[in-house]
Structure 1
C-alpha cells in the first residue's frame, strides 16, 4: 500500500461513494462524495470485530499529526486498550464533569446575594421604621450595593466591609456617615445570621468607635443668646413658619420631627393642648403638651397660616403636594438645614440655599434644632422645676423599670405649670421691656 502524501490528499476528489485511502498502520483518509476528508483509524477488537475511530478532518489535522495519533493508538492496542471504548469512557467522564460543573455553578448562583438579602431585610424590618427605611435605602444604594450587591452573602469578608467604610471616609467629614454605613451593614448581616444565611457576622470585630466617636452635645443657649436669636429671626431670611417653628421648639421642648409631623387635628387651642401621637414620638408613647400663653400665640399663628392654604399640617411644605394637590408636611431635615445654612460664617452660600450664611450665628457657638429642646429643659431647671417633671415634659422613658411599673402618677398639673413658667420666661426674653415677673416653681 502506497503511503499518502499531502499532494495526493489535496488531489483526492469526492465520487459517488466514500473512498478510503490507506496510509498503512491502520490509518485511512475517508473522502466523502462532497469532498470532505476525514482521518480514520481501523483496528480489530478483542473479539476480532473491525472498528473505525474518527481522528479529525484534513487539513485541520495534518498528515503528520494523523500518523502520530495512529502510532499512539497502535501502542494502546498492544496494551489491550480498545480506543473506541476508551473514547466513550472519556466522553462519559467529560459529560459528568461538565454536569458537575454546571451544578456547582447553579448552586453558586443560587446562593443568596447581598442584593437579595438587602431586599429581604428592607421588607421585613427596615420598612417598619417611621421613614419606611428611606435613609437606609439611600445609604445602601449609594455606598454598599454598587460594591457588594452581586456578591454572595457568605463570601463577604471583613475586608469587603472595611473597603466600603474606607470609601465613605475618603469623601471627608468627621466619620459619622461612615459609622452609620457600618452600623447599617452590621444590622443587615446580623439579620442574615439570625436566619441562618451565614454562620457569623463579618463586621463583629470592626470597632465603630474607631471610625467615629460621637461627642455628647452640651450646647445650651443663654438668655442673652435667646434674646439675640429671637430678635434676628425676622431678618434671617427664614419664612414665617420656620421662625415660628424655632419658638415652638423652645417653648414646648419638642423634637423637630414631632413638630414637622404635627397635624391640626391634634391641636386644641381652646384646651391649650397639643397631642403628639405615639407614631410621631421617639419612644412610641403618646405625649400631651400643655401649651403656655406664649406657645398658644405661636401655634395659633401657625394654624391660621395652615388654614389659609387648606393644609391639615401645622408646618406645610411649600412645594410638595399629595395626590389630592394638598400640601405635605415639611421635611424635618428642612428646618435643621435652614438653621445650619445660616451658621456658616466666612463660607460661600451653597447652591440653592440661603445667602445669609451668618444670620443666626451666636456667640456661644453653633447650635442645632435639638439644642432648642435642651435649652427649654435647662430654662425649666433654672426656674425651679423638678428634674423628674422636666423628664416628663421631654417625654423621656423612665429608666428605672420598678418606677416605670409601679409609679403611675400622670404629672399633668406639674407639667402644665412647668410649661407655663417656661413660656413666661420666653415672653420676658422676647420682650425685655415688658412688665413680667417670673417666679420659680415651688418644689413638691
Structure 2
C-alpha cells in the first residue's frame, strides 16, 4: 500500500523563502533595539533591515562597521543570524527536533530535501546530523586556532570571543568581522596561522556538506561520487586560477601586493583567491586593485561556492556543467561526460537556466543602480555581484548607498541566498503537465 504524503498548504520552495524572510524580520527588529548598538539610539529601519538580510543571507555587506557600531548584544544577534542563515533554518529546526527527540515527519523531510537540494528524502536526516556534527566541530577547531593566535594581541577572553565570531562567520562564508574600521584581515596579511585558518574554514564551508560527507566515507567506500569529484576539481582549479591572476596583476602594485615581501604576496594572493568562494574577507585594500583584478574577483564571486554549502553564487557545478556542455558541442559530441559518467539532459538545461537567471538579475540590478547611485559602473557591478553571490566583498559603495539602493542590494542578497530557481518555484510552484508535443521546428544558431 502506497504511503500517503501529507498535503502541504505551501510548497517547499515557498516555505523556505518565507522562512528566510521571517528570520530577516526578526533580525531587523532585534538590531533596531538601542541595546544592539553603542550609540544607545535605535538603528534606522533600513540599516537594520540591510544588516539582518546580510547576516541571514551570509553575505557580509555592511552599512555600518560591525566591530565598532554594534554592542556585544548586537554582534551576538548577527552571529546567531549568520549561523541560522548559513546552515539553513530547517537544519536548525531539525537540531531542536533531534535534541527534544521529536519525530521528523515526512513533511519535514520534504522541506529538508528542498533545503539541501537533494534528489530524494532517502538518508536526509542522516545527512542533517552530519551537517550539524561537521559544522560544530569545524567551527570549534577554527575558533580555538584563532583564539590561540589572537591571544598574543589581546586578552584571552576577548581573543576567544573574536575566535568564535570569526570562525562562525568564515565557515558560513558570511564575511562579517569585528576587528573594527572595516579592516577585516588587513592587519594579518602575512600571518600564516590567521590566513591558513581562514582559508580552511572558507573552503570547507564552500565545498558543501554532501562533499564533506562523501570525503568522510572515503576511507570505507574507497571512492567519491561524480558530484564530489566535479566540486573538488572545479574548486581547486578556480582557486589556483585566481591565485595566479592576482599574483601576476598585483605583484608590483604598491597599493596591494607590492608593499609585501614573498611571504605577504603569497598569503595575500591566496586569501583573495579563496575569499570569492563567497566569504567576503580581505587582507588588502580592494579599491587599490587594478580593474583587471577586480573583474577577475567579480567572475569568481559570480560562480561562488558549491551546492549544499553555506555559500552562494551560481555554484561550481553549474559552471562546470556549462563549460562541459560547451566543450562537448565544440567536439561534436552529444553527451557531457565527467569522470566517465554522462550527465542527463535536464541537468544541463537547469545549469543554463540558473546562469541566465543570474545574469539577468545582476545586469538588471546593476543597470537600475547605475541610474540611482553616483558611482563608477565597475563599482556598482562589483557590489551587485557580491550581493548576488552572498560574498560581502566591497569597493566601498555599500555604506554610501541611497535608501533605494540598500533595498535593491538587500533583495539581491535574499535572491542569491534562497536561490533563483527556488524563488521562481515559490512564485509558481505548480508544474503544468504537457498534454501534447508540438511538431519539431528548425532555427539557425550562431
Structure 2 length-normalised TM: 0.21
Larger % of helix: which?
Answer: 2
Greater relative contact order (Cα 8 A, min sep 6): structure 1 or 2? Answer: 2
Higher strand share: 1
| TM-score, normalised via structure 1 length | 0.21
